[in-house]
Amino acid sequence: MLNMAEGLARLRALAEGSVVSAVAEAFADAGFELAVVGGPVRDALLGREVNDLDFTTNASPDEILRIVTPISSAQWDIGRAFGTIGARVRGEQVEITTYRADSYDGVTRKPTVEFGDTIDGDLVRRDFRVNAMALQVPEIKLVDPTGGVEDLVAGILRTPTDPGVSFGDDPLRMLRAARFSAQLGFEISEDTRDAITRLRETVEIVSPERIQGELVRLMQTDDPVRGIRVLVDTGLVEEFLPEVSALRLEVDEHHHHKDVYEHSLTVLRQAIELEHSRHPGEAPDVPLRIAALLHDIGKPRTRKLEPGGAVTFHHHDVVGSRMARKRLQALRFDGETTDAVTTLIELHLRFFGYAEGTWTDAAVRRYVRDAGDLLERLHILTRADVTTRNRRKAQRLASAYDDIEKRIADLREQEELDAMRPELDGNRIQEILGISPGREVGEAYRFLLDLRLDEGVLGPDVAEQRLRDWWAARG
């Protein structure tokens, strides 16, 4: 719960910090207003860590650039069209924006920008009341025209104006509601939630890149499940990631299977717990978290109701991987993230074959080879995918995974598994077989790699003889 006395003390400390005071003094000397705005003010009041410093001012972008240049080591004006100038002041990155009001024309994907004259007018047009507060500096005055402090105390998210108007100005704010609900642990007011449900289709005018950015920020929170529930319950997710809501499969009275939607949310939560325990203090692993959320999206498409009440989802891993690739590409995710997510989804069932019977060393090597540098993420996803309430089954699976991880570690130590390659390279293959570069060299290379995976290290002499035998057998 917010303690106002402590919160105000933190605001004063924020205002008196070296970076804020340096920027405030420069703007005051130039005769302009300046205030720390939005997230930094909210987080200081809540006692959360303040990371990025955002300012707002009545100075124009050109005037901002002129004022900050003497006190900064670098400046950038990539956001000049939106009134924003960035700078590095005393080692910290800051962004300073002219009072403004963004809105869409209801047709294009880009917001129009109008500069304002007063700080109150700027704040009223922001996304939520808890973000519509400013700390004027250097005089240290809290500006809160919409009741953001009261909403912080109540733990609630509401728009400063009518939610229909606010979301009309920028439909992406509907996604931000889900993200801030997850990030802050706040409830969304009933009228705000109703407006999201009513206006969800308007998000189609927002660019895929902006939607992707907001989805990533949601997945970076400590509890993205809370925000995902908001997206699904309001129907907003249908507009950009319908595969998630499709996980809520209907169950008839004759065929029973686990709730795939709730299972997926549990897997996501457990993956985050494992991520924190294995890599404490590291940045959130967004590709892993997306893979955990989407790992079963192939099930609705592959579900088959069998006689006797059984339900099967054959090849849902492969189908789900293809579906995920198509969706992530539509949201303009980069290739590295897309490849990581889709590979994890495709491989997430592989381990369960190990749990059902002992693999040979060759099978373990292939598992490692196929996972590549995603192996650690695959370990986490596969462990997180165990949500059974059957304690005996859960313990058996955990024990099997402990065993495969130990075998991988042993093999890696023995054979440098991370650098797995044939014992003869392409040049040596050409010398032995007397052939030129081409398809046959590739086939010989793959033969030797399979030999290495199946039988381990043989030594160059044995490998050469086996290669000659293989070549002779080809005629």
pLDDT tens per residue, range 318-348: 999 999 999 999 999 999 999 999 999 999 9
Which of 273-282, 283-292, 380-389 is modeled with the greatest confidence?
Answer: 283-292
pLDDT score, position 4: 77
Taking the alpha carbons of 125, 126, 132, 138 in that order, is the dihedral positive or negative?
negative
Residue 462 CA to residue 326 CA, distance in Å, equals 45
Report the mean per-residue pLDDT for the chain: 89
64 pLDDT higher than 80: yes
CB-CB neighbours of 147 under 10 Å: 16
pLDDT, tens only, 86-101: 999 999 999 999 998 6
Q: Give the start-to-end residue ranges of the domains of the chain.
A: 1-153, 155-240, 246-419, 426-473
pLDDT score, position 397: 79
Confidence of residue 103 (pLDDT cuts 50, 70, 90): low
Taking the alpha carbons of 287, 222, 50, 215 in that order, is the dihedral positive or negative?
positive
Contact between residue 390 and residue 398 where contact means Cβ atoms under 8 Å apart: no
Query: Residue 113 pairs with which residues in a beta bridge?
Result: 102
Q: What class, spelled out in words, does domain 246-419 have in CATH?
A: mainly alpha
pLDDT score, position 255: 41
Confidence of residue 449 (pLDDT cuts 50, 70, 90): confident
Cα–Cα–Cα angle for 9, 18, 42, rounded to 5 degrees: 40
State the virtual CA torsion across 298, 301, 302, 307 in degrees, nearest 10. 140
pLDDT, tens only, 133-192: 999 999 999 999 999 999 999 999 999 999 999 999 899 999 999 999 999 999 999 999
Q: Which CATH architecture has domain 155-240?
A: Orthogonal Bundle (1.10)
Closest to 84 in 3D by CA, of 104, 55, 110, 109 = 55
Residue 147 CA to residue 24 CA, distance in Å, equals 25
The two three-digit tokens of residue 13, written as one number: 């400390």
417 pLDDT higher than 60: no
Contact between residue 264 and residue 226 where contact means Cβ atoms under 8 Å apart: no
As a whole number, mean pLDDT of residues 47-58 equals 92
Instruction: Say if 1-153 and 155-240 have the same CATH topology.
Output: no
pLDDT score, position 201: 96
456 pLDDT higher than 70: yes
Q: Which CATH architecture has domain 1-153?
A: 2-Layer Sandwich (3.30)
